[in-house]
Amino acid sequence: MENSKSFTAAKGGLTKEKFLNNFAFFGLLLVLVLFEILTRGKLLGQRNLMNIFNNFFSIALCAMMYSFVMALGELDLSVGAIVGFSAAMAAFASEISIYLILPVALITGLLIGLINGFATAYLRVESFIGTLAVSFVFRGLTTYFLNGSVGIPIAMRAFDKDWVKIIALLLVLTISYLLYERCAFGKHCRAVGASHEAARQSGVNVQKTRMAAFALVGLVCGLVGFFTLVRACTASSKTGNSFEFDVLLAVLFGGMPLSGGWPVKFRAAVIGSIAMAALKSGMSLIGIDGLTQQVVEGVILIAVVVLSFDRRNAGVIK
Amino acid sequence: MKLKKITACVLAATMTASLFAGMGVQAESADPEPFTIGFPWDTANTDPTWISIYNNVKAAVEAAGGELVNVETDNSADGLIDNVSELISRDVDGILFMPASDSMLPTVDAMCADAGVYWGTIFRTISDEDIQEAMYSSDWFAGGCHEDDEACAADIVKSMSEMGVTDLGVINIAKGDTSSDLRDKGAAEGAEEAGVNILNTTYDISVTTDMTKTIESYIAAYPEMNGILVLGTYCEAAIPTIEKALADHNKAGEIKVGRIDFESSLGDYLHEGTFHVSYGGQQQIDPLMSAVILVNKVIGTPIVEEGPTNIITPYLELTSAEEAADFNDYFLGDEAVYTADEIKDSMIKYYNADIDMDYMDKLIATFSIADVVSRHSK
Amino acid sequence: MKKFLINTLKTLSLPVIVYLVFLVICFERFSNWNCVYTIFLQSIIPTITAYSVAYGNICGVFDFTIGSRLIISGVIGGLLASKYGMAGMILGALVSAVAVSAVTGILNWYLRIPSLVLTMGLTMIFEIAGTRLAGHYGFVQIDTKYAIFGSSPNIVIIFLLAAALFYFIFNHTVFSFHMRAVGSNENVAKNSGIKTDLVKLKSFVYGGIFLGTAAILTLSQSGSVGAQTNLGSVTIVFKPLISILLALVLQRICDLTVGIFIAQFSLNIIFIGLIAAGLPDTFQNVVLGFFLLIVMILFQNSDRIEALREKSKAHHRAAEE
């Protein structure tokens, strides 16, 4: 009955269902087309494409692993603090050896991710509050330890090359996609998000799944910390500032639901990250001032979710 | 499959349309070749000082026939690196920015060198000797204009000491910022020299409620405190908030208040006698001069032939409510501290071959609130 | 009566213990009445802000807009103070706070999207509205003659009135029962005939009254209210939120009205304590984070702790026998 109400754009083509499923994709397309015209072709020019890539690179890396946490129906507000702290620790490690920069960043990120996971899974702390508390702790520690800013050798900029980042992005994309779509882990995350009791009864180790999801986010934040560090060659108390909002906005832009479970689509993370970067770049290219940019982003965020939110399957909307 | 075809068609049509849209005709002129200067600045910030900084940079760029390209920034090191990357992708000829730290500069220089873009700094000096040496030898670093933060902080502490301040509570912008660190250092030196005890320093206050809380906490925890010094802050209405907290505790006038960087409300408190000393006034001349240095370099008439041009501005002192009112009218208004014609005639070497370092130093030495008033009053 | 006294002592033990810790660290600076009184006064505005967050929080609504709404109402109150004096400030702040809160609540009702997303988007819009209203200088300042509510005893009187109103609404109205029902299980509440959307809307509107009050006090205490952009206002909600969470932990031994204040008072002891101890202010966040984490762990695992205690008692009994 519901289907009979759906509109048909072309025979056997776009139904409302399909439209909603691909909403984020259409949104991205709209942003690209609109700003490509408004910027007279500058948006998708070769140089600006790399600029858009650089802008969405860190957010996309984190957003892809964030999908696991979102699938669980959880949030992680500590990602910015993890990026900042892992960059700071890696910068200190560079004073011993530059070969320690990457491993220290990754291990630091992983450890904080494990703390988040442990607090959420085993100590039953609500992820929103737990990760907020963790972010307070590590933001404070970053500022305290850095006591200003710490630089690393300029030679490390070699890792800021586009091809290195493209490989890193493809690697994380492949791993996270396989984990999410092809491995039991991704299904477990969605099953726990849909109903952790049902998941438990069907043999899913809920606690380990939660712990692993937060650990993965921590690990990838360590990687983001590394790339942030080699890009600026400096770690400061501002490194990773408001990154948590950037990532959250990106996944929401992609139409990812907060309720977790099966409706959480992996592609939303990628599409949302690109759409947000393209939107920001487009607005900047046509000379929209900062105040207007913020209003436009706010309106679009609400509009995207209003149009794409699946109210029928959402049950209670909090 | 259908979806992909539709997408491909739409994108192809859009890109073709945009190719034609970009065509234009370039006019010939006796002025320098048209150029663009990129400037990462937070235009969402409506603080009049921040707006005046933008206006002064814009005036300097447009005086020489250039165009200012703005990108939004959070002024963090990694944010600025992204901004530089974006501006390079937009084919600017020069980039002007406020560095978040010394250690980010080699990265910026490398990026600009790769792209063949000149760059310059506003407000900040380069404290790290190794980085300074490397940047000064770069072909792409145009230089910049800054005040002597360290001396300014040391002098204001000594000045407060002469007013009888012995125990000082301090507010500063976030650690890691070059100016913040230098002002901390200068304040410590000034305090040691004058025998002033710095009780505590609180960093990075951004909202008035936190400012109130900090001042009240200082009053409660340090009954001996007889001076508050704001070395720097991005909190709006910082001085009114501090004055209000002091008044509520019957300490207004009794605890001496000082501030580096002028703000719009100082006149009222100078008049009431509850605010005591402020050094600053560089927020407008520094960015303007920095832009002038970069513009001259970009159009091929650098002020200094070899190496970067570095100008140090002397800080001004507000001594009366009248001066503070003039500052609000002539520094925080819509007009830059030098008009486009003044900049063109006295700061752009392309139009005035006499310009060199001596010339600029003499010009800077005459800069004061009274000077701006006399030039711009109608 | 005995139970009440025991519970009161238990409740007061939280700030007392925190105070004693800092008293040991810095006795000279912390052992004066002025310090305690300052902590008390500093706790008032965050407590009233927390009251405005609490209704929504109990309903399960998450609200990022608190900070931006506080700024808008403060700015409007400040602007109207210069035109219509004290009445302008009070009415301007209260009416605008309730109006903006109602708009948020209505949008939450009609758009039917998660409150976290909606309020994040609205924060971006409200911040810019506040910035535009604040005008050229980015902040509004009031004449000191209108700032009479910012200092003692007026601020204390307003606090007591606000606490009484919060207590009444929270404990003795039909709304309070509905609010708890929605918070504990919205589906069950809906099936039992409660208009859950209306309850949520009311939680915004009632919260708006306290937010307006907090805006008046902020204006009066600081003498000015500044605009924020780039989601800078979001952080304003975190500290009131922490005090609500702590108060929920204390709920078994004291009412939420008192619990929120006790929690806020304890947090402020930490803040002034760190300053008095001469420690860098960066430690404030570290201590706050740890404090929150420990309290949440204790709260979420109270059943386990209880079970452990029972087990230990049983073990002792068995050993004695």
Measured on CA atoms in the order B202, B208, B213, B218, is the torsion positive or negative? positive
CB B85: neighbour CB atoms within 10 A?
A: 22
Q: Shortest CA distance to B101 belongs to which of B77, B120, B121?
A: B77
Cβ proximity of B157 and B188 under 8 Å: no
Cβ proximity of A217 and A79 under 8 Å: yes
Q: Shortest CA distance to B201 belongs to which of B179, B232, B226?
A: B232
Q: C229 to chain B: which residues are within 8 Å by CB?
A: 44-46
Query: E strand or H helix at B120, and its extent?
Result: strand B118-122
Q: A48 to chain B: which residues are within 8 Å by CB?
A: 89-90
Q: By the CB < 8 Å criterion, does A203 face chain B?
A: no
Measured on CA atoms in the order A190, A193, A199, A205, is the torsion positive or negative? positive
Report pLDDT digits (tens) over A234-254.
Answer: 898 888 888 998 899 899 888
Look up residue B51 and give its two tokens. 């707006």
Q: What is the pLDDT of residue A27?
A: 77
* Most distant CA pair in chain B, distance: 81
Q: What is the pLDDT of residue B378?
A: 67
Q: ipTM score of the complex?
A: 0.84
pLDDT above 60 (res A6): no
- CATH classification code of B36-147+282-316+336-376: 3.40.50.2300
CB C78: neighbour CB atoms within 10 A?
A: 28
CB contact under 8 A, A245 and C280: no
Instruction: Determine the 3-state secondary structure of C133 from DSSP.
Output: helix
Q: By the CB < 8 Å criterion, does C154 face chain B?
A: no
Q: A294 to chain C: which residues are within 8 Å by CB?
A: 124-125, 127-128, 229-230
Report pLDDT digits (tens) over A198-216.
Answer: 999 999 999 999 999 999 9
Q: Shortest CA distance to B107 belongs to which of B69, B136, B78?
A: B78
Give CA–CA dist B219/B243, Å, rounded: 13
pLDDT above 80 (res A315): no
Residue with tokens 């009864």: A201
Q: How far A167 CA lies from chain C's nearest CA (Å)?
A: 32
Query: E strand or H helix at B230, and its extent?
Result: strand B227-230
Q: How far A113 CA lies from chain C's nearest CA (Å)?
A: 15
Q: Shortest CA distance to C235 belongs to which of C68, C60, C74?
A: C68
Which residues of chain B are under the pLDDT cut of 70?
Answer: 1-29, 378
Cβ proximity of C227 and C134 under 8 Å: yes
For chain C, what are the domain ranges? 43-253, 281-321
Across A160-184, average pLDDT? 94
Query: Long-range CB contacts (< 8 A, 24+ apart) of B112-118?
Result: B112/B84, B112/B88, B112/B140, B113/B138, B113/B139, B113/B140, B115/B88, B116/B140, B117/B87, B117/B88, B117/B92, B117/B93, B118/B93, B118/B94, B118/B142, B118/B294, B118/B297, B118/B298
Cβ proximity of A84 and A225 under 8 Å: yes
Q: By the CB < 8 Å criterion, does A242 face chain B?
A: yes
CB C152: neighbour CB atoms within 10 A?
A: 12
CB contact under 8 A, A54 and B82: yes
How many residues comprise chain B?
378
How many residues comprise chain C?
321
DSSP at B34? P
Q: Shortest CA distance to B323 belongs to which of B289, B363, B285, B279?
A: B279
Q: What is the pLDDT of residue A54?
A: 84
Give CA–CA dist B127/C314, Å, rounded: 68
Q: What is the pLDDT of residue A316?
A: 67
CB A41: neighbour CB atoms within 10 A?
A: 18
CB contact under 8 A, A294 and C127: yes
CB B376: neighbour CB atoms within 10 A?
A: 17
Cβ proximity of B248 and B275 under 8 Å: no
Q: How far A163 CA lies from chain C's nearest CA (Å)?
A: 32
pLDDT above 60 (res A164): yes
CB B166: neighbour CB atoms within 10 A?
A: 15
The single-letter code of the amino acid at B296 is: N
Which chains pack against A, by 3+ Cβ pairs within 8 A?
B, C
* Pairing assessment for the beta strands C224-226 and B118-122 based on DSSP bridges: unpaired
pTM recorded for the entire structure: 0.84
Give CA–CA dist C319/C321, Å, rounded: 5
Distances in Å between the Cα of C196 and the Cα atoms of C52, C55, C167, C185, C203 are 19, 13, 21, 10, 11
CB contact under 8 A, B44 and A289: yes
Give CA–CA dist A265/A278, Å, rounded: 21
Q: What is the pLDDT of residue A2?
A: 39
DSSP at B95? E
Instruction: Determine the 3-state secondary structure of B141 from DSSP.
Output: strand
Look up residue A151 and give its two tokens. 């630089």
Label residue B306 exposed, middle or buried (CB < 10 Å: 0-12, 13-18, 19+): exposed
Residue of A nearest to C238 (CA): A132
What pLDDT band is residue A262 in, cutting at 50, 70 and 90? Answer: confident
Q: A246 to chain C: which residues are within 8 Å by CB?
A: none
Return the CATH fold of B150-280.
Rossmann fold (3.40.50)
Write down the mean pLDDT value for chain A. 87
Which residues of chain C are under the pLDDT cut of 50?
Answer: none
Q: What is the pLDDT of residue A69?
A: 96
- Apex C128 CA angle, C125 and C130, nearest 5: 110
Radius of gyration of chain B (CA): 23
Q: C113 to chain A: which residues are within 8 Å by CB?
A: 302, 305-306, 309, 317
Q: C128 to chain A: which residues are within 8 Å by CB?
A: 291-292, 294-295, 298
What pLDDT band is residue A83 in, cutting at 50, 70 and 90? Answer: very high
Cβ proximity of B158 and B190 under 8 Å: yes
How many residues comprise chain A?
318
User: Which alpha helices (H) appear in chain B, and where do they start and end?
Assistant: 2-21, 48-63, 77-89, 105-115, 129-136, 149-162, 178-194, 208-221, 238-248, 266-272, 282-298, 321-330, 340-347, 357-365, 369-376
Give CA–CA dist A84/A205, Å, rounded: 31
Across A80-92, average pLDDT? 96
CB contact under 8 A, B103 and A151: yes
Q: By the CB < 8 Å criterion, does B359 face chain C?
A: no
Residue of B nearest to A12 (CA): B2
